[in-house]
Amino acid sequence: MTAHPGFGERQLNSALIVDDHPLFCDALSMTLKAVAGILRIETADRLESAIERLDRAPFPDVVVLDLNLPDVDGLDGLIRLKSVVGAVPVVVVSSLADNRVIGAALRAGAAGFVPKHSHRDVFRAAFETIRQGGAYVPDGFTPQNDPNTPASQREAAIARLSLLTRQQAKILQLICEGMLNKQIAYDLSIAETTVKAHVTAIMRKLGVQSRTQAVLISRGASFESLMPEND
């Protein structure tokens, strides 16, 4: 395990677990109560359900996120969640524990990464690190790139997507689903001119000239782009 020093102790009294497997949610809830002293725990089985919960104050002290949810693709869920919760730490707990996935999740704003089938001691260490204001990565994690080398296209995509606001991230998701501005306006109950303004801002932040290019940037953060190539 690796812990990076942070900037002060956090209170971890409540958590929101976002995972679509009820049995794992139950097991993780018991684990967090036992090893991290987190007694108030809520669950959500979709990203949208989690965001709806977060619309109602107060925020939990920590969010625990599975990357592989039914209504998100790749790191989109983490990026959108971070745009909502701000400084609240998001800990990724996932079975996708490849070095590239871990590194990409950390660059996208995760406060820690715990492989899904880790022992209790690992969860204890992870949440103690988060409580102390640090960032947690599991044993064996090795960054893929020298920090002085230029960012790859995937890393650049993740960095650009992290600049989007919550509303912009939602609109980009709908663009990726093939919706037109008029349909997006209806779906979000906002004016079409507002959608157009958001689309313009999205393209500016992503450094692209068209909706198609914006979709390609979004897909650049998918799981497929993070998996090692076959020999």
- Prior bond of 143 cis (ω within 30°): no
For residue 26, what is the domain's CATH number?
A: 3.40.50.2300
Pairing relationship of beta strands 2-4 and 135-137 according to DSSP bridges: antiparallel
- Residues 162 and 78 occupy one common structural domain: no
Instruction: Give the model confidence (pLDDT) of 8-67 as tens digits.
Output: 678 899 999 999 999 999 999 999 999 999 999 999 999 999 999 998 878 999 999 998
Indicate the DSSP class of residue 223.
G
Q: Is residue 74 part of a domain?
A: yes
Residue where a domain stops, chosen among 84, 103, 137: 137
Residue 75: what pLDDT? 81
Q: Based on the fold, state whether residues 114 and 47 are members of the same structural domain.
A: yes
Within a domain: 71: yes
Same domain for 214 and 180?
A: yes
**Token pair belonging to 45:** 């089985």
Do 18 and 125 lie in one domain? The reply is yes
Average pLDDT over residues 159-175: 85
All residues at 6 or more sequence positions from 166 whose CB lies less than 8 Å from its CB, including other chains? 51, 80, 83, 84
Burial zone of 35 (CB within 10 Å; 0-12 exposed, 13-18 middle, 19+ buried) = middle
For residue 185, being part of any structural domain is answered with yes
| pLDDT for the residue numbered 152 | 61
Chain-wide mean pLDDT for the chain? 84
**CATH number of the domain residue 211 falls in:** 1.10.10.10
pLDDT value, residue 13: 95
Q: Which of 137, 162, 184 is the last residue of a domain?
A: 137
Residue 131 lies in a domain: yes
Co-location of 130 and 180 in the same domain: no
Q: Which of 193, 191, 213 is nearest to 202 (CA)?
A: 213
**pLDDT grade, residue 144 (50/70/90)?**
low
Task: Say whether pLDDT at 224 is over 60.
Answer: no
The residue to which tokens 């002290």 are assigned: 61
Location of structure tokens 């204001």: 133
**Among residues 137, 168, 185, which one ends one of the domains?**
137
What's this model's pTM, rounded to 2 decimal places? Answer: 0.72
Number of compact structural domains in the chain: 2
Distance between CA atoms of residues 136 and 172, nearest Å: 30
Evaluate whether residue 197 is within a structural domain: yes
Residues 130 and 191 in one domain: no
Are both 133 and 64 inside the same structural domain?
yes
pLDDT in tens, 91-120: 999 988 888 888 888 888 899 999 998 999
**Residue 144 covered by a domain:** no
Residue recorded with tokens 């991230």: 169
Domain that holds residue 121: 2-137
Question: Which of 174, 113, 102 lies closest to 143, judged by CA?
Answer: 102
Statement to judge: residues 131 and 183 lie in one domain: no
| 67 shares its domain with 169 | no
Residues 41 and 119 in one domain: yes
